[in-house]
Amino acid sequence: MQVGGYGKVNGSWQARDEHWVSGLKLGRDTCEHSAKKGKITTPLFPCKLLLLNDLLPFMLTQYMHPGSVLSSLTALLWPSAKRWRLLLLTVLLALTPATIPAQQSHKDASTGLEPIRSYISAGWNTLSRSLSDCATFSDTKLTTAPQLYLPADFPMPESVKQLETRCRIQVRSLPPSASHLGASAAQSIDPPGLLYLENRYVVPGGRFNEMYGWDSYFIVVGLLRDGRLDLARDMVNNFLFEVEHYGAVLNANRTYYLTRSQPPFLTSMILGVYGAQKAAGHEDHKWLEKAYQLAVKDHSLWVVEPHLAGSTELSRYFDFGDGPAPESVKDETGHYREVVAYILAHPDVDQSLVVRKASGQTASSVAGSTYSLQVCDVARTTAKPDCTVASDVALSADFYKGDRSMRESGYDISFRFGPYGAGTHHFAPVCLNSLLYKSETDLEEISKILGHKEDAEQWQKRAEERKAAIQKYLWNSRRGLFVDYDFVHQAQSSYDYVTTFFPLWAGIATPEQAQALVKHLPTFEQPGGLVMSPHETGGQWDFPYAWAPDQLIADEGLRKYGFNKEADRVSYEFLSTVAENFRQDGTIREKYNAVTRSSETQVTAGYHMNIVGFGWTNGVFLELLHDLPAELVQKLSSEQGSSAAATH
């Protein structure tokens, strides 16, 4: 939709596009409606600023070029000063808030949190991406020129044709042999590029331009809590588009992600949007029916080979690609060389992950780069020591399969499935199977809403079968924990990990199991929230880091089983860490050091950065805050207000 405003019509200035007026009114109405409902997360003044923010680019472009775009600068027409004043007066009147009712007094208790609420509210727009914006096509993880790929079965929209000239990108269609996740030629698409999506979406942080799988669930939670149903629905519709045209929910909408998915949260997003629409008086069974059919298709990815975990009747993470993950080669410079060095320095690690060969020899089990193993004199001067090549080494094909599969899990990098996640594809994980159980119960619920009685019965049966398998293989009664299961060696993992709380969130645990799990909170609890594990490995998904998604899963799981006191405590620890760091530098990050309660990180394995944004932290902050008792919200607000005052 092209934004209009005023234009020269028959020699006089007139309103040229009613969408501009209605859009401005909608923005004002949204702010006022949210305030009346007690849901507004920003003061009205920032609401005004957000609307002006959206309006200013329009004013600076449309009024410099009040008609069609002209080729000559001398042809530019400027409205008179009187019309400028009239326009600005109209804007200010439109932004003037209605009287805020008494319900707004509830928010007065949390005025110390208004800056961070405003940051989050504005962030949904800052982090939004659209294919109408040329900047969306760049990829900071690679150095290739921007490309856009359409589904193989999708005609090129007129708007996309215009992008080739306007954004200087090349538009291609995916070949049939590489048209969907797991297709035989998907890994060989060259050059890589962005995969087409129809709607806007929110990215995790400023350096990203693609929509990610499991990040988006927590973003959607935040959008719905913040009253942004429109954007939440756009994102879910994008995922439905991915399933329909690319075969499944992807890791993200890039061609090199056509080899893997991510943790399955699609049904949770569908029910979240459906529930919000219903609460707003717009129950949409037709949309839900389409979403149901595509969610069933997406679920099917996880219940057939190669995503089956042996004979356990459980599922595993598995990337269809081979060799190094393309995005890691540039984003994690030197990572695979460091892996080789670690394995060689630790004889207790599975040495088959490294393949030794004589210089110049080739090996079929090798993928990726080859490294030289040398014997060198000890350097005693500044002169370069003499070295002799002992052999060449490379990481095995099986290592890369585990490395890629770890990235499908979302927990990259952790040592949870062996050093550097090398054994990920050998495990039935607690998180994945809890999510699939939740998906199956969600599909049962959706079937009932739609009147599909037989479907509902089948989904109930499948969920109960998965639940029984989880209890058999993943519950350790001696330790009182849910753990991952190595189906290759037929042994439970001894690696304590925060995903042990996923079965609480999914409703799998018995009351007795929940009680046992709560006793393990001290294993993970630190001053800044729950750490991923008690193991310090240098990986960002291990000690001492706390991540927003796992805070929310654990918090909601604890509350589901009545452990509200514990949930209040650990969620407050995380919320206060985020708020304290925001007060110091005005940003929200993707992860935090839960021991030092800071955003400073010392990651040494793989991806090293701590990105600003940050989509899922923003969403989780709002949801945890909503679940917190009023007195703790007041305490958090007071701490931020008093601390802020002390710094001035």
| Residues 138/209, Cβ–Cβ less than 8 Å | yes
What pLDDT is stored for residue 381 in this prediction?
Answer: 84
Hey, where are the domains in the chain? 6-108, 326-377+386-425, 520-648
* Catalytic residue chosen out of the listed positions 412, 496, 573, 623: 412
DSSP per position, 285-347: HHHHHHHHHHHHHHHHGGGSTTSB-TTSS-B----S--SS-HHHHHHTTTHHHHHHHHHHH-T
Is the separation of the CB atoms in 264 and 439 below 8 Å? yes
pLDDT of 234 higher than 80: yes
Q: Given 298, 542, 590, 623, which residue is catalytic?
A: 590
Work out the percent of the chain whose per-residue pLDDT is above 70: 80
Question: Is there a catalytic annotation at residue 226?
Answer: no
The mean pLDDT value for 151-171 works out to 91
Residue 189, phi then psi, degrees to nearest 5: -65, 125
Verify whether residue 133 is a known catalytic residue: no
Q: What is the pLDDT of residue 359?
A: 59
In sequence order, the 6+-apart residues with CB closer than 8 A to the CB of 170 are: 145, 146, 147, 148, 164, 193
Half-sphere CA count of 630, side-chain side, radius 13 A: 5
| Burial (0-12, 13-18, 19+ Cβ within 10 Å), 79 | middle
Q: What is the CA radius of gyration of the chain?
A: 27
pLDDT reported for residue 329: 76
Helix (H, G, I), strand (E, B) or coil at 71: coil
Task: Give dist(CA 420, CA 535) in Å, integer.
Answer: 13
Query: Does 646 or 310 have the greater pLDDT score?
Result: 310
Amino acid identity, position 114: E
pLDDT beyond 50 at 503: yes
pLDDT(108) > 50: no
Coil, helix or strand at residue 14: strand
What pLDDT is stored for residue 224 in this prediction?
A: 98
pLDDT for residue 596: 98
| Whole-prediction pTM | 0.82
